[in-house]
């Protein structure tokens, strides 16, 4: 058997690899490339913004406007659709590049043995059966099976979720995309390109369909309702007009106008801009929204499945306790910073320095200062040992070169280095303590540290002159125990209060992790996720195959699911959705892609996450913090409430706009039309839009997280009753009163044809009444329980500004002759203006009275319930 040298220090026995002829024979079309999926065409993404249900409704309204002889109105509606679609496209134009990000994880060059010679080749040229040589820092280019292994440890977190490097032995497998942390090995390629596990996850991610958001479903329902209402009223008006003697042609055009008038052209841009506003606020909270509709969906979340490492914890290993025979030393510090506080007996601190020196001598990981502060280079645990040595003041090793190294071996579960006649050993306590001559009380201390959720490492030394032929088992005997080191991945600050907020909000939280059960449970207890009596721990292997049984098992608060596979996370999301939950799933690795895509809200990590996870997610946490999810839920609920606010505002306006058409139809034209279709469009776009947008920016209330998320629909009976049965009729009554009063004062009587000037002046009064009524309505819609004057005027300054701007717009629409002539009205008379002004107190008084009566009925209902 040939011997192939990896580093010049240790030879590894391996076969001579494939021959050139065998490589040529095994080469496949496409080589070692992941299957490519073309990014969605920007043109296609843009077109999608113009063909959803609401946009189609507006397109239909534009066509009807043109058919009805109102081309200006048709053009205006088209402009609204185009502007809104363009804005939404710009906001959401982030290509779905999960497969492309996966390809970036495969290295470009790899070391192989061919024809008995070591050589570097392009990763794309690998074939099944190739002999690959691995060393620290390499990323696997294909699926492999390991042969001869020397202290190999591999980071598989992006595939398995396991936060710690995994020890590998001969015969073990390795997956494309994983990273070699330390050690060396030879391996044979078993799968390339589309046959790798990495490609399988890519395929799974692409095959998972995104769940339709609750907002999409509700908006579809609203649009269907508006469509039926608009068409129904239009047909009804046409029929009534015919019965009352209106000519068929004129009746048809009139019915088209009514139908178009009932379509809330301003609703679509208001929804889009409100969601964009929520996304902007979330960005300030370190949450990046990739799909606008996810802003509202967050508010509907009922179950959060969260990772452990980096989300609930800091993802920074740190030494917190050192036990030595001389005593215990407690260590505190921030992350990997080399400074910190060390407390304990002087003798114990001195012993800890010796322990730290020995531990660093047989480590390769260390801490380094970078633009992001002090970070780990290499194994996080070994970097933590380097930080410990600096914190306790242990001088760096004297620089004597290591004469012998015995790398970490999964069988021995320890490693050692001989330098200057001293052998330094570190490893698992049960692998080191039996080889120590003195280990009194150490076993009890190991149990105590492990019970606290700490990872424990034993460090020992031996002064020895080893013969060249001695192996590790011979060298690592008669050791002197220096002590034990306790590591933790500290919980993030703020996680505990965030979990309390979740419980107050009726949101269940489960930890889904690839780590061990003991570690996961310890962290769950530390952060407050674990609840005695109700929480339980479930191994991934114990998850039932039946989805219904799986959902029943998972549907509880404080659950800890450990050792999960990618398929498990996908099934977990789907099982909870089947039980009616709106699921938010966090993830940072390639393995999380399918689950993130299937969840109602996929939440990826911005700092530690892979590109794959970020591209598959709806929300990216820029700080990787669980508390940011709760802040996002708060904003989501606020967005839901704000959408209801401006829906009430828009629907109220529609009633006032519809009333003149109904009066005209019912009277057979005896009462002139108070406002025309172009005036309706001006109300929807020119005067209503800014106040509606300001309502969409209404800030959160302190009680927004009190209780479970609202199960009510976006448009329910309460909203419709308030808008269509109260506020709208009040506005309509004042508007028609102003219109008729001005007409009568000009000498008009029922059934007569009004003069052009009188009709335009009266129409201006009706138009002004609706606008002023909407100003009052905007303040009334800020709360569904409190009158407008009991709300803080300064809490939403945007609304004040919007009303001032729209007041200026109203004056412009009335006073600029070309605009007023186009719309068909003139400035109202003083009498008409006085009556129109009554719309403000009338709307506010009606709203306050309804809220007082509603509160009284609620109080009586609660008393009766007792």
Q: Which residues does the annotation mark as catalytic? A: 307
Residue 12 in contact with residue 184, Cβ under 8 Å?
yes
Name the percent of the chain in helix, strand, coil, to the closest 5.
50, 20, 30
Contact 285, 635 (CB under 8 A): yes
What is the spatial distance between Cα 597 and Cα 601, in angstroms, rounded to a whole number?
8
- DSSP structure string for 233-249: HHHHHHHHHHHTT--HH
DSSP character at residue 190: E
Q: Report how far apart, in Å, the C-alpha atoms of 165 and of each of 168, 246, 359, 492, 632 are.
A: 9, 83, 18, 22, 32
CA 563, 567, 573 angle in degrees (round to 5)?
Answer: 95
- Give the CB-side neighbour count of residue 615, counting CA atoms within 13 A: 19
Extract the tokens encoding 733.
């009554």
Token pair of 119 as six digits: 């050589």
* Segment holding 550, helix H or strand E: helix 547-554
Residue 378 structure tokens: 């290499």
Phi, psi of 68 (to 5 degrees): -80, 10
SS3 at position 105: coil
Of 46, 89, 70, 44, the closest CA to residue 263 belongs to: 70
Please report which helix (H) or strand (E) contains residue 763, including its range. helix 756-780
Q: How many CB atoms lie within 10 A of CB 433?
A: 18
CA distance 524 to 308: 9
Q: Please report, in angstroms and rounded to a whole number, the separation of the first and last CA atoms in the chain.
A: 87
Tokens of 807: 């007041």
Q: How many residues does the chain have?
A: 866
109-114/117-122 β-pairing:
antiparallel
The total of other beta-carbon atoms located within 10 Å of residue 557's CB is 17
Token pair of 401 as six digits: 């070169």
């Amino acid at each position: 058997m040939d011997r192939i040298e990896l580093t010049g220090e240790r030879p590894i026995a391996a076969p001579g690899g494939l021959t050139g002829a065998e490589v040529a024979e095994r080469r496949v079309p496409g080589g070692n490339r992941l299957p490519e999926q073309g990014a969605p065409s920007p043109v296609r993404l843009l077109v999608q913004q113009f063909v959803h249900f609401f946009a189609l409704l507006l397109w239909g309204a534009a066509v009807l406007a043109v058919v009805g002889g109102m081309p200006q109105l048709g053009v205006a509606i088209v402009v609204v659709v185009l502007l809104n679609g363009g804005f939404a496209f710009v906001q959401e134009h982030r290509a779905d590049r999960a497969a492309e990000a996966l390809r970036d994880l495969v290295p470009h060059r790899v070391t192989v043995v061919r024809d008995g010679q070591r050589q570097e080749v392009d990763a794309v040229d690998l074939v099944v059966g190739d002999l690959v040589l691995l060393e620290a820092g390499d990323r696997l280019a294909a699926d492999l099976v390991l042969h001869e292994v020397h202290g190999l440890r591999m980071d598989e977190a992006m595939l398995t979720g396991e936060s710690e490097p995994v020890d590998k032995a001969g015969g073990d497998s390795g997956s494309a995309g994983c990273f070699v942390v330390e050690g060396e090995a030879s391996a044979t390629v078993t799968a390339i390109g589309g046959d790798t596990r990495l490609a399988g996850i890519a395929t799974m991610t692409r095959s998972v369909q995104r769940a339709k958001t609750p907002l999409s479903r509700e908006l579809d329902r609203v649009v269907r309702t508006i469509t039926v209402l608009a068409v129904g009223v239009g047909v009804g008006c046409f029929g009534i007009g015919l019965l009352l003697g209106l000519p068929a042609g004129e009746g048809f055009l009139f019915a088209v106008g009514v139908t178009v008038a009932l379509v809330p052209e301003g609703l679509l841009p208001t929804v889009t801009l409100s969601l964009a506003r929520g996304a902007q606020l979330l960005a300030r909270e370190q949450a990046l929204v990739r799909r606008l509709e996810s802003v509202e969906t967050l508010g509907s979340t009922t179950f959060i499945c969260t990772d452990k490492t980096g989300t609930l914890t800091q993802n920074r290993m740190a030494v917190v306790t050192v036990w030595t025979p001389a005593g215990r030393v407690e260590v505190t510090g921030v992350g990997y910073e080399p400074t910190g506080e060390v407390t304990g007996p002087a003798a114990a601190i001195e012993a800890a320095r010796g322990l730290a020196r020995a531990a660093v001598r047989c480590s390769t990981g260390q801490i380094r200062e970078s633009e992001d502060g002090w970070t780990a280079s290499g194994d996080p645990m070994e970097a933590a040992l380097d930080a410990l040595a600096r914190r306790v003041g242990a001088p760096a090793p004297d620089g004597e070169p290591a004469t012998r190294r015995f790398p970490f071996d999964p069988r021995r579960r320890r490693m050692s280095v001989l330098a200057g006649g001293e052998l330094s050993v570190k490893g698992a306590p049960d692998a080191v303590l039996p080889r120590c001559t003195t280990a009194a009380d150490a076993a009890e201390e190991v149990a105590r540290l492990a019970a606290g959720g700490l990872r424990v490492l034993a460090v020992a030394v031996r002064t020895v002159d080893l013969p060249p032929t001695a192996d590790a088992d011979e060298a690592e005997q008669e050791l002197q125990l220096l002590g034990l080191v306790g590591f933790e991945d500290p919980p993030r600050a703020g996680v505990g209060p965030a979990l309390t907020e979740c419980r107050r909000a009726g949101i269940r939280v489960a930890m889904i992790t690839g780590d061990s059960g003991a570690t996961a449970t310890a962290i769950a207890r530390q952060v407050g996720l674990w609840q005695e009596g109700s929480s339980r721990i479930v191994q991934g292997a114990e998850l039932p195959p039946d989805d219904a049984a799986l959902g029943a098992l998972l549907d509880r608060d404080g659950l800890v699911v450990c050792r999960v596979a990618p398929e498990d996370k996908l099934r977990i999301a789907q099982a909870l959705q089947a039980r009616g939950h709106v699921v938010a799933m966090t993830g940072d690795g390639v393995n999380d892609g399918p689950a993130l895509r299937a969840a109602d809200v996929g939440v990826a990590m911005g700092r530690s996450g892979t590109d794959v996870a970020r591209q598959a997610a709806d929300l990216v946490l820029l700080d990787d913090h669980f508390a940011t999810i709760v802040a996002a839920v708060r904003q989501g609920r606020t967005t839901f409430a704000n959408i209801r606010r401006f829906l009430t505002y828009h629907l109220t306006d529609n009633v006032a706009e519809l009333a003149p058409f109904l009066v005209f139809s019912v009277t057979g034209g005896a009462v002139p039309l108070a406002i025309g279709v172009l005036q309706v469009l001006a109300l929807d776009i020119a005067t209503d839009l800014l106040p509606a947008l300001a309502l969409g920016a209404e800030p959160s209330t302190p009680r927004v997280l009190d209780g479970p998320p609202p199960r009510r629909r976006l448009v329910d009976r309460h909203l419709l009753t308030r808008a269509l049965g109260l506020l709208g009729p009040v506005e309509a009554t004042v508007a028609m009163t102003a219109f008729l009063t001005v007409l009568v004062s000009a000498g008009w009587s029922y059934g007569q044809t009004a003069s052009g000037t009188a009709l335009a002046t009266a129409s201006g009064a009706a138009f002004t009444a609706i606008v002023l009524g909407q100003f009052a309505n905007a303040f009334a819609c800020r709360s569904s329980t409190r009158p407008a004057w009991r709300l803080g005027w300064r809490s939403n300054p945007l609304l004040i500004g919007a009303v001032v701007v729209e007041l200026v717009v109203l004056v412009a629409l009335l006073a600029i002759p070309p605009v007023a002539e186009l719309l068909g009205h003139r400035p109202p008379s003083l009498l008409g203006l006085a009556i129109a002004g009554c719309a403000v107190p009338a709307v506010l008084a009606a709203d306050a009275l309804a809220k007082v009566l509603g509160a009284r009925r609620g109080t009586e209902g609660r008393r009766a319930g007792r």
